[in-house]
Amino acid sequence: MAMRVDKKHPSRSRKVALAEYLDAAKRAALRASKVLAEWRRRFSVREKARFDLVTEADVASQKTIQEYLCRRFPEHAFLGEEGEAAKHRPGPDASPTWIVDPIDGTTNYVHDCPLYCVSIGLLIAGELVVGVVYEPCRKEMFAAARGKGAWLNGRRLRTSTTARLDEALLSTGFPPNMEGQQLTLNWWRYFSLRTRSLRRTGSTALNMAYVAAGRFDGYWAFDNHVWDVAGAAVLVTEAGGKMTNVDGSPYDPFTPDALISNGPLHPALLKAMRTGP
């Protein structure tokens, strides 16, 4: 389905298109969640790298999302975690590209720990403009489109107002294989001693969605992939949050590091990144 263009009112056409894309992402996430529920008790597990699990459910979930979105928008491209295309950044003239993690938090899913989600983002001309993170166990649909706000099950989201590290609840993520990751552990210790508390949910997309919802005040990581962050990035910015790389440079979702906050806490986080381990 091509984007409808109103030549007299191009901004109106963009809003209509974004609403349509957001609706499609939400519907695709719900379809995928049904697949995950069906596979929950009958999947097999394999490793795509040491300690990095993939299940038949991952593959089936991604297939469901891709088939739905590509049928609805045949001119769009698709970049999913489970596939070779995930290794390539779309070029500046690329078609609108859906970026998908069919299960963010696969280890949690395998162990029946309820902190996992379906994450879907849309990249147009190098900009993430639509994002959906759906948490099946709590039936929480986080959804956002550029300029239209961030929402949780119809409720407008706003980030927290915490500006001090010692009052902040932060989250982070670890790589699947922690061998040789002493620096990651050093940062955990560093922030443990300087914040109210830390959390590690096992899902990057949920960590970011929870910042958007005001549940977490900030998030840092050094080993993300674009499919981890694409669905939640618009949530954060539309809820009033701030995103940079850890050195303070403009955020690039195709780089592994990220520093994400409610906004007021960002200067303190950047200072910590300059002075920490």
Give the catalytic positions in this structure: 81, 101, 103-104, 106, 228
By DSSP bridging, strand 155-156 and strand 169-172 are: unpaired
Q: In a 10 Å sphere around its CB, with 0-12 CB exposed, 13-18 middle and 19+ buried, how is residue 8 labelled?
A: exposed
Single-letter code of the amino acid located at 120: I
State the Cα–Cα distance between residues 127 and 92, nearest whole angstrom.
10
Q: How far is it, in rounded angstroms, from Cα 196 to Cα 169? A: 6
DSSP secondary structure, 226-252, as one string: HHHHHHHHHHHHHTT-EEE-TTSSBP-
Q: What is the full DSSP assignment across 76-101?
A: SEEEESSSGGGGSPPPTTPPPEEEEE
Chain position carrying tokens 């489970």: 82
